[in-house]
Amino acid sequence: MMATIQIDFDVEKALFALRETEEMTFNDVLRKKLGLPPKQQPIDPKPLLPWNYDKISLPHGTELRLNHQGREHRAEIVDGLWILNGKPQNSPTAAARTIIDTKAALNGWWKWEAKRPGDVEWEWLGNLRKEAEQMKAIAP
């Protein structure tokens, strides 16, 4: 509960004089004079962004995997970016091309599986993309 304290003009003037910066409040001045630690400002965390591409959105923390030649490769959605081996990727196909060396056409949407936060099973990105397209088609 916040209390209101009445002060006279001389006290207000003295408090103003004790401020070290313009941002310093009377409460900050009194905390310092009373030997109390500075009040911690609440941290307003920015929301972590999803990765959006075409008609699909994958939330922060989505795990991604691609199996190629018996080896599993992992990526993750981190604050709006698709991260593979510490490097951001623009698309599933771009990410797949860093792993699969081919000159042939490559559709990364059918190479990667995703497991969104809260999902139990892995699902092909291509299926998630189809679902997103269908939802967009029926939306008003």
* CA 65 – CA 82 distance, rounded (Å): 12
Helix (H) or strand (E) holding 54: none
Assess whether pLDDT exceeds 90 at residue 117: yes
* CA 72 – CA 69 distance, rounded (Å): 8
Cβ distance 81 to 88 under 8 Å?
yes
| Confidence band for 55, pLDDT divided at 50, 70 and 90 | confident
Nearest in space to 80 (alpha carbons), one of 57, 47, 45, 50: 50
When pLDDT is averaged across residues 94-113 and rounded to a whole number, the result is: 91
Assess whether pLDDT exceeds 90 at residue 121: yes
This prediction has a pTM of 0.65
Cβ distance 80 to 49 under 8 Å?
yes
